Structure 1
Amino acid sequence: MNKNVHHLTNWYSISHTTFTPYYPKGNGQAEASNKILLKILGKMTKENGKRWKEKLPTALCAHRTTKSQATGVSTFSLVYGTEAVIPIDLVRLAVKLAEIAGIPREDTLEIIEKMRDNATSHNHLYQANMKARHEGQVKERKFQEGELVWKAAPHV
């Protein structure tokens, strides 16, 4: 904290605290994505982990162009509306460009919207399957009056 701000907060008897915003769902998604990236980087730098910075662009490309199990599509295709053209696909690039050139813009936007809708429905099915799997593993417990139990506070 700046000296002047510190002096000002002391002068007015203000307790200064810092915090970071916490959004559990978003933070969980970021953590899951980071965990996948760490796995990819770990496999790419197996012999020498110090050169991970050089491998990061390749790992990010792999992560963004791989189909997600949850959605059934890649994040690249959700953002740009088409699958990524990676170097191995450059041979077929002329065919793809010819297909794309013959489709009017409105039709292309409809196709992108359908892809997103399909990804959303696939994600709902995936979450329902995960919920059913989880609920199958949950054991029901019955408590007697007078037993001590942990109670979760709603603000935590």
Structure 2
Amino acid sequence: MTPIVEYLEQDMLPEDKNEVRRVKAQSARFTIIRDFGKFWNIKLNFSTPRYPQENGQAESSNKTIMNNIKKCLEKAKGRWTDKLPGVLWSYRTTTRTSMGETPFSLAYGMESVIPTESEVTTARYELTTDEVNWENMCHELDTIDERRDKALLRISAYQRSIARHYNKNIRTRTFKVGDWVLQRVFQNTKDAGAGKLAPTWEGPYLITKVVGHGAYKL
């Protein structure tokens, strides 16, 4: 966002020609959004929020969805749009090990009825009535908060068990004043336009003060 903001506010462009084209194209879109915001008295704030846990969770979900699509397509890779709705449906209606619930049930308070149940005789579909179904739906909606709280407790316990498994071989290392260290480069601190070839570490930095709890002043 930094080069785009500099171009919009200070009319400054990067030296790379490819980067200039990208900045101008994105700036044109932001100009339309900014004008729309001014018309409706909406204030736009340019920021770069970063939440590694959320980004990692999104990548994990996308990886699962992509693997399932690959299994359905085999060699016909161009038909992924036809298989995507079914893969997403199966992903949202499959019980997660971490929480013991399906994403669908946590969102709507009840388990989904798959299309197959309307064709193949099942007890849940055949032995129910509209009145019983309505009562069950009301009951599930009344207890959905408790269901979500239980899922949250299961997730916390699952995360702790995973952390214990991965941290059992970790050796704690501390630094002292005068040590030289490298600092990890994150998405919001790396140079704009560096791409995937950008360095993952920067420095070295000299530790000047031990703040405590694994925090140091460089």
Q: How does the TM-score come out when normalised to structure 2?
A: 0.55
Deviation of 1:150 after TM superposition, in Å, equals 2.5
Partner of 1:124: 156
Alpha-carbon RMSD across the aligned residues, in angstroms, is 3.3
Residue 15 (str. 1) matches residue 12 (str. 2):
yes
The equivalent of 2:141 in structure 1 is: 109
Letter in 2 for 1:34: N
Of stretches 24-33 and 36-45 in structure 1, the one that deviates more from structure 2 is 24-33
Q: Name the counterpart of 1:149.
A: 181
Cα distance between partner residues in 2 of 1:143 and 1:101: 62
**Aligned twin of 2:39:** none
State the SS of the aligned residue for 1:150: strand
The alignment of Structure 1 onto Structure 2 pairs a total of residues equal to 146
Deviations along 1:43-67, one digit per CA (max 9) or x if unpaired, are: 1111322211111111111111111
Residues 110 and 140, structure 2, Cα contact 8 Å, conserved in 1: no
Alpha-carbon distance, 1:127 to partner: 0.9
Aligned with 1:85: secondary structure? coil
3-state SS of 2:182 partner: coil
Residue 109 of structure 1, CA deviation: 2.4
Deviations 1:53-98 (A, max 9, x none): 1111111111111111222211111111111111233333133556
Per-residue CA shift, 1:88-129, capped at 9, x if unaligned?
333331335564333483x33232222212211111111111
Identical columns (%): 27
| Alignment-mate amino acid for residue 133 of structure 2 | I
Residue in structure 1 matched with residue 84 of structure 2 by the alignment: 56
Of the three residues 33, 54, 67, the one matched with 2:61 is 33
Between structures 1 and 2, the one with greater strand share? 2
Aligned counterparts of 1:149 and 1:15: Cα–Cα separation in 2: 34
- Residues in 2 aligned to 1:37 and 1:142: alpha-carbon distance in whole angstroms: 40
- Using the size of structure 1 for normalisation, the TM-score is 0.73
User: Which has the larger helix fraction?
Assistant: 1
Higher RCO by CA contacts (8 Å cutoff, separation 6 or greater): 1
The answer for the alignment partner of 1:4 in structure 2 is: none
Aligned partners of 2:12 and 2:58: how far apart in 1?
32
Structure 1: where are the runs of 5+ without partners?
1-7
